[in-house]
Amino acid sequence: MQTTRRGFIKATGLAFGTSLAYGLATQSEAFALDASPDWKLVNTEECTNICCYCAGGCGSLCSVRDGELISVEGDPDHPISQGGLCAKGASMFQLRNVVDEKTRKVIPNPGRLTRPMVRRPGASDWEEISWDEAVTSIARKVKDTRDATFVEVDQGVVANRCDGMASLGGSQQNCEEDYAIVKTMRTLGIVALDNQARV
């Protein structure tokens, strides 16, 4: 049985030019032989993604109904993985939704973070905060540290360096995010910049 993601290509074509709707417009109707109401993927839309574990770059197909994830499995058209996924790749669905043991109903993964939190000095637990509060207070702390530890000239050379901050990570993000991180961190003056490549 040859299944192709032809609908996918069609739908993305429609997305061109409608940038606001771009994000979710990349989905297209799932390939189904008939619309049996018992079929798990009935009335779902699919979009392709790439596995979040090792750097194999295996393809995944995410099936979505009414804005919620219904299933993740391998992308059969993907030339590397040809529909396959290992134990970790095959479990990516559970990073968002899990099955409750008692009710056998799908529930949100209780291990995921859902909102910003802060741990105050000396505290033994988290405090929930709003995004606005988090952004405002982090920016203030960053500025204070930068202003206090900035080295504008070093050994007679313009250095524009901030020794008081370090940044770590990047192998988990998409390239566009990595560039944003590199660009903002470096522009703040950070030279202690590193990622998972060594560990």
Site for another protein in 86-125 (CB under 8 A): 86-96, 98-101, 104, 106, 108-124
Q: How far is the CB of 154 from another protein (least distance, A)?
A: 5
Q: Binders of another protein: how many residues, by CB under 8 A?
A: 157
Q: Are 167 and 173 in contact (CB under 8 A)?
A: no
Q: Measured from the CB of residue 155, what is the shortest distance to another protein in angstroms?
A: 5
Report the alpha-carbon distance of residue 114 to residue 119 in Å, rounded: 16
Residue 29 or 173 having the CB closest to another protein:
173
Minimum CB distance to another protein, residue 63 (Å): 8
For position 83 contacting another protein by CB under 8 A, the verdict is yes
Give the number of residues written for the chain: 199
Tokens of 35: 């619309």
Question: Taking CB under 8 A as the criterion, which residues in 37-66 touch another protein?
Answer: 38-41, 47-60, 62, 64
Q: How far apart are CA 65 and CA 187, in angstroms?
A: 42
| Pairing verdict, β 45-50 and 59-65 | antiparallel
Contacts with another protein, 131-170, as mask; x by CB under 8 A: x--xxxxxxxxxx-xxxxxxxx-xx-xxxxxxxxxxxxxx
Q: What are phi and psi of 129, to 5 degrees?
A: -135, 165
Restricted to residues 166-195, the positions that interact with another protein (CB under 8 A) are: 166-195
Q: How far is the CB of 43 from another protein (least distance, A)?
A: 14
